[in-house]
């Protein structure tokens, strides 16, 4: 198996909105290796989240190519991309995005169920234990704190043992202590499963925990640098 997880060649993204066409990303070229952790940083509107969406197959490039695990994401259909994500990717959002009508356990089991895993609930229970929330398995998102919700979201992202973990400002809605705990868990999961981590953050300190930092400005990569650590 190739060591390269992501290859982006001249990837561009433009979107049509009510106010007309907006160019968001221009000529992004990037390679990410297996097990590597990348911190995407840059000011608001620089295109960090959009780049994460391209890498997650949530948006299709309007120029260039995005290849993940040897698959060119551009020509894939929405459903093919969905199937690809549930097998190879886990996504963590700033706003958690747990499904409010499902318990913590059901939320974690959802991607496993979608992938047809017969042991979805055992695996989900184990994953909740890893994030320290086995006692909250039957609670609904509304009954949990922000920190707890993000831990459930982490368990949900990690449960299918994805090759790639995508995290969009996972601590953005949390206080300092909860944020630090989430980051520890995130990197712990990455280490345990050997996944590749793409992390969008405003925080240079957090980005410095990654193997490499990609700095963006106005939709372009302005700098690659090794993390400070």
Binding site for another protein (CB under 8 A): 15-18, 22, 49-50, 53, 56, 58-59, 78-79, 82-87, 91, 93, 95, 97-102, 106, 110-111, 113-116, 156, 168
Provide, rounded to whole angstroms, the least separation between the CB of residue 56 and another protein.
8
Provide, rounded to whole angstroms, the least separation between the CB of residue 85 and another protein.
5
Planar angle of CA 23, 26, 29, nearest 5 degrees: 155
Element (H, E) at 55: helix 48-55
> Pairing state of beta strands 164-168 and 89-92?
parallel
Contact 27, 9 (CB under 8 A): no
Residue with Cβ nearer another protein (116 or 176): 116
Contact 52, 168 (CB under 8 A): yes
Provide, rounded to whole angstroms, the least separation between the CB of residue 97 and another protein.
5
Residue with Cβ nearer another protein (148 or 168): 168
SS3 60: coil
Q: Nearest to residue 219, comparing CAs of 47, 90, 91, 86?
A: 47
Residue with Cβ nearer another protein (100 or 176): 100
Residue with Cβ nearer another protein (56 or 64): 56
Provide, rounded to whole angstroms, the least separation between the CB of residue 3 and another protein.
25
* Partners of 186 in the β-ladder: none
Provide, rounded to whole angstroms, the least separation between the CB of residue 163 and another protein.
14
Residue with Cβ nearer another protein (54 or 209): 54
Provide, rounded to whole angstroms, the least separation between the CB of residue 99 and another protein.
5
Contact 143, 174 (CB under 8 A): no
Residue with Cβ nearer another protein (113 or 211): 113
Q: Nearest to residue 111, comparing CAs of 131, 89, 132, 95?
A: 89
- Strands (DSSP E) contained in the chain are 4-17, 20-33, 37-41, 63-68, 71-72, 89-92, 164-168, 196-200, 212-217, 220-226
């Amino acid at each position: 198996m190739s060591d390269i997880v992501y290859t982006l060649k001249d990837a561009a993204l433009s979107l049509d909105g009510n106010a007309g066409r907006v160019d968001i990303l221009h000529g992004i070229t990037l390679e990410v290796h297996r097990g590597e952790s990348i911190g995407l940083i840059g000011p608001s509107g620089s295109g960090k989240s959009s780049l994460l969406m391209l890498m997650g197959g949530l948006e299709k490039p309007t120029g260039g190519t995005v290849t993940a695990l040897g698959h060119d994401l551009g020509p894939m259909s929405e459903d093919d991309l969905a199937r690809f994500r549930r097998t190879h990717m886990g996504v963590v959002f700033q706003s958690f995005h747990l499904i409010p009508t499902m318990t913590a356990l059901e939320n974690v089991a959802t991607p496993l169920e979608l992938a047809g895993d017969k042991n979805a609930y055992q695996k989900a229970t184990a994953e909740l234990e890893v994030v320290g929330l086995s006692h909250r398995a039957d609670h609904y998102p509304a009954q949990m704190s922000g920190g707890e919700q993000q831990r459930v979201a982490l368990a949900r992202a990690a449960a299918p043992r994805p090759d790639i973990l995508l995290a969009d400002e996972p601590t953005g809605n949390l206080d300092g202590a909860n944020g630090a705990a989430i980051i520890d868990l995130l990197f712990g999961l990455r280490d345990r499963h050997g996944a590749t981590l793409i992390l969008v953050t405003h925080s240079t300190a957090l980005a410095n925990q990654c193997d490499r930092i990609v700095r963006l400005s106005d939709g372009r990569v302005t700098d690659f640098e090794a993390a400070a650590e």
